[in-house]
Amino acid sequence: MYIDGQWLTEGPNFEVVNPATGAKLGSVLDASTDQVQAAITAAEGALPGWSGATAYDRATILYRAHTLMMERQRSLAELMTAEQGKPLKAAMNEVKYAADFLLWFAEEAKRIYGETIPSARPDQRFLVHKQAVGVVAAITPWNYPISMLTRKLGPALAAGCTAVLKPAESTPLCAIAVFEILDDAGLPPGVANLVTVSDPRPVGDLFCTHPAIRKLTFTGSTAVGRHLAQLAAPQLKRVSMELGGHAPFIVFDDADPVHAAKGVSLVKFLNTGQACISPNRIFVQRAILEPFLKTLEARVARLRAGDGTDPATSIGPLINEAAVAKVDLQVQDAIAKGATLHTGGYRLVDGGLERGCFYAATLLSAVSPDMLIYREETFGPVAAVIPFDEEDDVVAMANDTEYGLAAYIYTQNLSRALRTFEQLNFGIIGINDINPTSAAAPFGGMKASGLGREGAREGIDEYLETKLGGLSI
């Protein structure tokens, strides 16, 4: 662990394993309550100096961290592939994406502007000042174990906040590698602290109730997000949350069905479907359903599961046994209730894959509202296709969920694209675009998919307080 600028290496620990092979990768410290308290105290002590530093000083360290991350891109990607399972090419892309947040917020640090406001009184002036919210607690997920750290730490540090971060217990080694970069970049002691734990609940509860922590930022499930928000509420603690999704992917009949099917196959099986913006319900207008399914089935059947270090691997393992069980439950429930299975639908155990958590890339059609997969986020390599007839019907079906993170539209009709974009209740919508994300763009959801935004200029606003000064002259 990394507390107050020092690496801690002695104490109780827990193992980290490779989900593709089951092999032990190493072990990390299992933090005690006292150690988490020490990390919070260190962040609290470092806050005056860090928030009082110039924006240029804070930006300089983030620039250095960006440079170091890109220099270590390959080694970071290899670590991520071993610890999280995604193919090496995808891991390389994630490291670049993570570094982008450091660069973006290094620049945004110098653009935290105040303003003056005219008064009705001739002897009065109003000044608006932005300042750091205070000590930030961050909880990050395992599916994007490097970019989710920089998407939170980048704006927090740029704004002048100090932080304590708890990474997912499945991927602490990636977090350690990121903190090595921050340390090497010259981050002062106590400004950012890392605690690793095997049981996340006590730490999350402490983050929500500790009076020194003024903001909690969390990425994870909606159920856990609700729990944390309830705990934080009595102190009126600032929270931002990026939670679950249940993304619709709508293909209208004026779209090219082959092009749309290729797009679905790329985004649905990215990170083995373990992404909050992964399409979960694929709505296809009935007139082009047959050619769409034909193309998608061929592409899904060609996907090869395996160790991410093998260049031939298309999709890696699921993160653990519970994830495999959840995916298979949804698939078997859909088949039992009348869905058509085109390919996949089973756990992979041949060719050495029995040591890991692999599930075959799966395509289902004739999916209906009574099936679990229609209602619940899958977080796995299963494409569920649902036919529709009318535009109004598909918008209603797409919005028929408590989630509101991402959605996708494929159409060549500009009016239809804009109309559907405005009608869908989702925070991120790709229009003929399967990657509507960037460090420069706001990321976040509506309804049960979260609170606040990450990235873009909105991302740094989440870590700032607005202070008004009224001057009588």
- Which residues are known catalytic residues? 242, 276
CA–CA distance, 350 with 304 (Å, rounded to integer): 12
DSSP string, 374-426: HHS---SSEEEEEEE--HHHHHHHHH-SSEESEEEEE-S-HHHHHHHHHHS--
- Number of CB atoms found within 10 A of residue 229's CB: 17
| β-pairing verdict for 382-388 and 446-447 | unpaired
Q: Helices H, strands E: what count in the chain? A: 15, 22
CA–CA distance, 393 with 137 (Å, rounded to integer): 42
CA neighbor of 72 nearest in space, from 185, 149, 148: 185
What phi-psi label fits residue 115: left (phi over 0), alpha (psi between -120 and 50 degrees) or beta? beta
Greatest CA separation found in the chain? 81
C-alpha 396 chain-centroid distance? 26
CA neighbor of 400 nearest in space, from 423, 416, 380: 423
| β-pairing verdict for 450-451 and 238-242 | antiparallel
CA distances from 293 to 380, 384, 431 (A): 19, 11, 20
> C-alpha dihedral over 277, 213, 83, 9, to 10 degrees?
180
Burial class (CB in 10 A: 0-12, 13-18, 19+), 43: buried
DSSP string, 425-466: --SEEEES-S----TTS-B--EETTEES-BSHHHHHHTTEEE
CA–CA distance, 320 with 316 (Å, rounded to integer): 12
CA–CA distance, 108 with 111 (Å, rounded to integer): 5
